Copies of this chain bind each other. A is one copy, B any other.
Amino acid sequence: MVINSNIQDWVPWMRRVIRLALLADGQTSPNPLVGAVILDSNNRIVGEGFHSFAGNPHAEIEALSQAGPLAKGGTLLVNLEPCCHDGRTPPCTEAILKSGVSRVVVAMNDPDPRVSGKGIDLLKKAGVEVITGVLEDEAAFLNRAFIFRNKTGRPWGILKWAMSFDGRIGLPNGASKWISQKSSRERVHALRAKCDAVIVGGETVRIDNPLLTSRGINKVEPLRVVLSSSLKLPINAQLWNTENAKTLICYGPESDVGLLKKLPNGPEKVLLDQSSPSKLLELLAQKGCNKVLWECGSSLATSAIIENCVQEIVCFVAPKLLGGVSAMTPLGDFGFTSLEHVIPVKKVSTYKNGNDFVFTMLLNDKDL
């Protein structure tokens, strides 16, 4: 049995697998992103597939059914360990063994405790050669949200803001439309499409009256969430129209529930143990969210960071100066008194989008 003997040989195919998996980015929750490629015994591609939606066939099944009898004696490449339990669909290991592939190449183990190594063991015991660890870091990054939720019970949080070069997200009078250019706002729509929920506070509803959709980029729009402790929400708001996208209003025990009755029936309303980012994210994990986008103001954003509900930041910087000591800032007070204690950000990367710069960064690279 040859194990991990030729990891490098499989890298180009595994890149293809990850590209396939990404085709459904934002559509598979609570499931992970998975792609699969089948090679025949001469290493020619004879099947490809990806998991497109929870309840739809797994990537392995899609690829195997494309390959048919050509899979026999060939290789299956998949970015995540094949499942070996009955979920909404039968276990993939069963179909793999039935297909007659003689080799399975896996990027990483499934963090789901129901699988987690058991799928690989089962295949090995059945005499299939299993090679693991091919593009493991890339595969872990691909499914960072799924993995994080499995580890912590909370979805992966992305905080987004758009600011000027002097670090302002709005003018002193609150004007903030628009800091970034149109194509950057379209990037935000695309970012929403990759998330399962978009979260704002009551203040953002009151001031901006946002729509918070992907503008139809995905068939299923992300759940739009309002976290409001006061429940002082406007009677009319774009978010209350739930025709194209669902809305969830969350509040805590201290909220004036009398105000709930004034709100329309479209949005779901849920009482949390506490009106806090972490309690909200526990609920959203239960609802199957792997990845959520914080599009809130500085006060809620700061609480979310303090409660470890933000893993990633996407920051748009527009070529403008807004000025203003009292102008709106992306974050509120953390109470730091020394620069040795401020929050470091890691793995910062950037690209230019028109005249705007877009930065992505992690708050803790150990979250990966």
Q: Are A163 and B171 in contact (CB under 8 A)?
A: no
Say how far A244's CB is from chain B's closest CB, in angstroms: 28
The docked-state distance in angstroms from the alpha carbon of A334 to that of B175 is 14
Q: In this assembly, does A164 line the interface, its C-beta being within 8 Å of a C-beta of chain B?
A: yes
Instruction: Tell me whether A190 is interfacial, beta carbon within 8 Å.
Output: no
Pick the contact of A175: B175, B325, B330, B337 (CB < 8 A). Answer: B337
Q: Is the CB of B319 within 8 A of A345?
A: yes
* Interface flags, A345-357, vs B, CB<8A=1, else 0: 1101010000101
Q: How far is the CA of A64 from the CA of B177 in the complex (A)?
A: 59
Q: Are A331 and B321 in contact, with the CB atoms below 8 A?
A: yes
Contacts of A330 in B (CB 8 A): 166-167
Asked whether A237 is an interface residue with its Cβ less than 8 Å from the other chain, the reply is: no
Q: How many A residues have CB within 8 A of the partner chain?
A: 49
Binding site for B on A (CB under 8 A): 163-168, 171-173, 175-179, 298, 302, 305, 313, 315, 319-327, 329-334, 336-339, 342-346, 348, 350, 355, 357, 359, 361
Sample (29) of A-B pairs whose CB atoms are under 8 Å apart: A164-B167, A164-B342, A165-B313, A165-B359, A166-B330, A167-B168, A168-B329, A171-B336, A177-B339, A179-B339, A298-B325, A302-B323, A305-B321, A320-B339, A320-B344, A321-B331, A322-B331, A323-B334, A323-B336, A324-B329, A324-B331, A324-B333, A324-B336, A325-B333, A327-B333, A348-B355, A348-B357, A350-B350, A350-B357
